[in-house]
């Protein structure tokens, strides 16, 4: 497979390749990587999903991204992004890592959003959830299609 993101990494002396465009301020400033910095990266992933796979900080070089994020800069909100997703991204990008959402809080927000979806938009449930893709006797189970 071709590494399409090779140019999205910046080599810090002696530390190997780092995914600058997904890194939190504390990771860029102090080299600290925790679950809080992972939540920041999750917010960037949400942004990528909402932009249908655009590169984060598309108009900036890696050095510009590092300076931008270190000084409090954030990605711009995608057009047509649901307000709930926008607010979740903002909580993932809180500059102070201790004030940032935890993954548990992110999950609670996502589950709440899922519950608000009309039945016709909810993901299909599988009869036996122990095996991904395994279908029950009657195929996939979704009351919206009954």
CATH number for the domain harbouring residue 55: 1.10.510.10
Give the domain extent around 18.
Answer: 6-145
DSSP classification of residue 124:
P
Q: How far does the chain reach from its first CA to its final CA, in angstroms?
A: 41
| Cβ–Cβ under 8 Å, residues 55 and 8 | yes
Please write the tens of the pLDDT for every residue from 4-30. Answer: 455 555 545 565 788 999 999 999 999
Please write the tens of the pLDDT for every residue from 42-66. Answer: 999 999 999 999 999 999 999 999 9
30 φψ region: left (φ > 0), alpha (ψ -120 to 50), beta (else): alpha
- Residue 134: what pLDDT? 44
Distance of CA 121 to the CA centre of its chain: 21
- Residue 117: what pLDDT? 78
**Is 1 domain-assigned?**
no
| Cβ–Cβ under 8 Å, residues 56 and 48 | yes
- Residue 131: what pLDDT? 45
- Residue 47: what pLDDT? 98
Q: Write the CA distances from 119 to 103, 115, 127, 137, integer angstroms.
A: 26, 9, 17, 22
Number of domains into which the chain is organized: 1
**Is 83 domain-assigned?**
yes
Total residue count of the chain as it appears in this document: 146
Flag whether pLDDT at 69 surpasses 50.
yes
Beta strands in the chain (DSSP E): 10-12, 16-18
Query: What global pTM score does this model have?
Result: 0.75
Flag whether pLDDT at 142 surpasses 90.
no
Q: Strand pairing partners for 99?
A: none
Flag whether pLDDT at 127 surpasses 50.
no
């Amino acid at each position: 497979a071709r590494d399409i993101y090779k140019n999205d990494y910046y080599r810090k002396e002696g530390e190997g390749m780092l995914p600058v465009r997904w890194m939190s301020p504390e990771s860029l400033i102090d080299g600290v990587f925790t679950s809080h910095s992972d939540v920041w990266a999750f917010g960037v992933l949400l942004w990528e999903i909402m932009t249908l796979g655009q590169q984060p900080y598309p108009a900036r070089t890696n050095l510009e991204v590092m300076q931008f994020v270190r000084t409090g800069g954030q990605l711009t909100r995608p057009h047509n992004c649901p307000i709930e997703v926008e607010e979740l991204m903002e909580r993932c990008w809180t500059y102070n890592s201790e004030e940032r959402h935890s993954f548990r809080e992110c999950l609670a927000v996502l589950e709440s959003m899922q519950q608000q979806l009309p039945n016709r938009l909810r993901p299909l449930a599988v009869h036996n959830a122990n095996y991904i893709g395994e279908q029950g006797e009657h195929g996939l189970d979704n009351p919206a299609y009954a």
